[in-house]
Structure 1
Amino acid sequence: MIKKFGTINGLLLGIVSVFGAFIWEGGAVNALFLLPPMLIVFGGTFAAVIIGFGYENFKNIFKLIKLAYFPPSYNPHPIINTFVQLAFKARKEGLLSIERDIEKIDFFFCKKLLRNAIDGTDPETLQDLAELEMKTIQERHYSNIFIFTKMGGYAPTMGILGTVMGLIMALSHAGAEPTTLIKSIATAFIATLWGVFTANLIWLPIADKLKKCHLDEKQMMQLSLQGVLALQSGEIPVLVKSRLVSMLPQREQEQIRR
């Protein structure tokens, strides 16, 4: 549970740190929530995404945000244990004997590879198909990640644009009361604050989180491919386990071997 909601906790920590420091210094939070600068930053950033990537891709960003904050859980340990059990059965009763066990596997990519193997697809062709799918998925995932990386660049620029506009308005009232002029200048910089804030605590972290989700899924796909190839070649269960465990980080390998 802590792992799953780590992203939300990080966002809350960032909000508390930034706005808490502002309040600590005697600032009023309502002074930061001004609609004109926020409209420039958020509206301008979204407009840039629509122009650069199209409306269809823009619609997907809200699903991707949800995915970043509530990512699927990929645990490699159960799938390794599953392949070890399948290896026992396949060596004893043949590869066709594991057909009924496929539905017990949750990971769809793994199921598909096992079905292809049982249907008689040779290892070389199976590996080519799996690598092609992994490459296609990587291209699609990285195109989504690129959108948020660009948003992390658009937002501060829109913030600067809002600040320049605010300063123009402030200077146009240069003959007014000094307090009014100072207040207008302070208001102008709020756009920059929102631009930098959203870039560094929302858009760029989402891009990093989506990249981590991709790497976790990629690891599961690679484990699945190696597991199926091991079953096809008739490797003994101990060797199957060693092969798959070697693909994990060293700390996880040590935990499994204890």
Structure 2
Amino acid sequence: MDIATLIGIIIAGGGILFAMFETTHGNLAAFYSTEAVIVVIGGCFAATLMGMPLGSVLDLFGYLKKWLFGKDMKVAELIKSLTGYAEVARRDGMLALEEALKTQKDPFLRKGLQLAIDGTDPEIIEETLRIEMEALGERHRKGKKFFDIIGSFGPGFGLTATVIGQIAMFQNLGGDASAIGKSLSVALVATLYGCILANVICGPIGHKLAIRSEEEQFIKEMTVVGIMSIQSGDNPHVVEMKLQSFLSDRQRKVLDKK
């Protein structure tokens, strides 16, 4: 699991639960309302179904997996692999990479090098890889859009439930005090649900997915440059220098120490 995500969940969840516990002296049930859940959660899900294709909505667990278990960029490992492939190609020829590719787990890198080994035209190799990059980016954008939609509608449906609760409260003015209290409670709890949904759940998830997508596109851009450099016959040092051009000075210093 992504450590930063785990820490964020613990801090946010723990802080909110602590505040709830302290303000109600342990009566956490005060923050639950079936009516608010139906309007806010159900309403947001319904709005998402109306705003996105069903297939994109059904990919929810895939989006969550990417958010929870996304891996950090392994730039040093990629540069080392591509430089190693360049050495093999320079010394033994492109066909010698066939054996080296058997242990390569990255399908994108494996596909690009296989095209180069097969003698495919450089323009076709680059075009094929960039089409795959664009398709990947589009899939990632759908994941972010999913949580953006829910997050944008959360406060609105929270307000809807709040208005419903207030209407019920005004209708009971002069009547049963407990009914007034229940209606007001529903109104406030619904607002809380909308705020949490937008700012604690969907907002952070959407931002993390966007960052993960940018990181993956960055890695794939490096991969394309490395493959094209190997295919053109550049020596390993040139391949390494091209790949290091993607890095900041600090990243290069860290890489040099390894």
Normalization by structure 2: what TM-score?
A: 0.92
- How big is the shift at 1:55? 2.8
Q: What do residues 174-215 of structure 1 show as CA deviations (whole Å, max 9, x unaligned)?
A: 012446524531331110100110111111111111112211
* Runs of 5+ unmatched residues, structure 2: none
Rounded Cα–Cα distance in structure 2 between residues aligned with 1:26 and 1:43: 27
Q: What do residues 199-232 of structure 1 show as CA deviations (whole Å, max 9, x unaligned)?
A: 1111111111111221121122112111111111
> Runs in 1 of length 4+ with deviation above 4 angstroms?
177-180
Q: Which moved more, 1:79-88 or 1:69-78?
A: 69-78
* Letter matched to residue 10 of structure 1: G
Alignment-derived partner of residue 28 in structure 2: 29
Alignment-derived partner of residue 47 in structure 2: 48
Alignment-derived partner of residue 197 in structure 1: 196
Instruction: Find the partner of 1:12 among 10, 13, 26.
Output: 10
SS of 1:191 mapped into structure 2? helix
Rounded Cα–Cα distance in structure 1 between residues aligned with 2:8 and 2:108: 31
* Runs of 5+ unmatched residues, structure 1: none
* Letter matched to residue 87 of structure 1: A
Rounded Cα–Cα distance in structure 1 between residues aligned with 2:194 and 2:249: 40
- How big is the shift at 1:73? 4.8
Instruction: Confirm or deny: 8 A CA contact 2:168 2:180 kept in the other structure.
Output: no
- How big is the shift at 1:162? 0.6
Q: Which moved more, 1:91-100 or 1:138-147?
A: 138-147
The yes-or-no answer on 1:95 pairing with 2:116 is no
Alignment-derived partner of residue 181 in structure 1: 180
Instruction: Confirm or deny: 8 A CA contact 1:41 1:159 kept in the other structure.
Output: yes
Matches within 5 A, 1:41-80: 41-80=40-79
Rounded Cα–Cα distance in structure 2 between residues aligned with 1:53 and 1:118: 41
* Letter matched to residue 92 of structure 1: R
SS of 1:104 mapped into structure 2? coil
Matches within 5 A, 1:217-256: 217-256=216-255
- How big is the shift at 1:6? 2.1
Q: What do residues 33-75 of structure 1 show as CA deviations (whole Å, max 9, x unaligned)?
A: 2221112111111111111113332221132122211224541
SS of 1:36 mapped into structure 2? helix
Rounded Cα–Cα distance in structure 2 between residues aligned with 1:30 and 1:163: 18
Q: Which moved more, 1:242-251 or 1:78-87?
A: 242-251
Rounded Cα–Cα distance in structure 2 between residues aligned with 1:144 and 1:26: 37
The yes-or-no answer on 1:117 pairing with 2:110 is no
* Letter matched to residue 227 of structure 1: G
Instruction: Confirm or deny: 8 A CA contact 2:35 2:186 kept in the other structure.
Output: no
Matches within 5 A, 1:152-171: 152-171=151-170
Alignment-derived partner of residue 143 in structure 2: 144
Instruction: Confirm or deny: 8 A CA contact 1:95 1:118 kept in the other structure.
Output: yes
SS of 2:70 mapped into structure 1? coil
Instruction: Confirm or deny: 8 A CA contact 2:56 2:142 kept in the other structure.
Output: no
Rounded Cα–Cα distance in structure 2 between residues aligned with 1:162 and 1:187: 7
Alignment CA distance shift 1:151-1:96 (3 Å): same
Aligned residues between the structures: 256
Rounded Cα–Cα distance in structure 1 between residues aligned with 2:38 and 2:115: 52
Percent identical among aligned pairs is 28
Rounded Cα–Cα distance in structure 2 between residues aligned with 1:70 and 1:85: 28
Rounded Cα–Cα distance in structure 2 between residues aligned with 1:186 and 1:34: 8
Rounded Cα–Cα distance in structure 2 between residues aligned with 1:61 and 1:257: 40
Rounded Cα–Cα distance in structure 2 between residues aligned with 1:75 and 1:168: 56
SS of 1:145 mapped into structure 2? helix
SS of 2:233 mapped into structure 1? coil
Normalization by structure 1: what TM-score?
A: 0.92
Instruction: Confirm or deny: 8 A CA contact 1:159 1:193 kept in the other structure.
Output: yes
Instruction: Confirm or deny: 8 A CA contact 2:24 2:30 kept in the other structure.
Output: no
